[in-house]
Amino acid sequence: MFTAGAEVIELKSGARFSTRTTDLGPGGCFIDTTVPFPIGSNVIINLNKGTKTFGTAGTVVYSQHGLGMGIAFTDLDAEKRLELGDWIAGITGERPAGHEIPRPPKDANPSKGREFVALVRLVRLMIGKGILTEAEGASVLHDPVL
Residues 36-78 have pLDDT tens digits of 999 999 999 999 988 888 889 999 998 888 889 999 998 788 8
What is the three-class DSSP state of 72? strand
Q: What is the pTM of this model?
A: 0.64
Largest CA distance in the chain: 44
Q: Is the pLDDT of residue 11 over 70?
A: yes
pLDDT band at residue 98 under the 50/70/90 scheme? very low
Burial class (CB in 10 A: 0-12, 13-18, 19+), 80: middle
**Most trustworthy range by pLDDT among 65-69, 106-110, 129-133:** 65-69
pLDDT band at residue 102 under the 50/70/90 scheme? very low
**What are the C-alpha distances in Å from 53 to residues 6, 30, 57, 93, 107?**
9, 16, 14, 16, 31
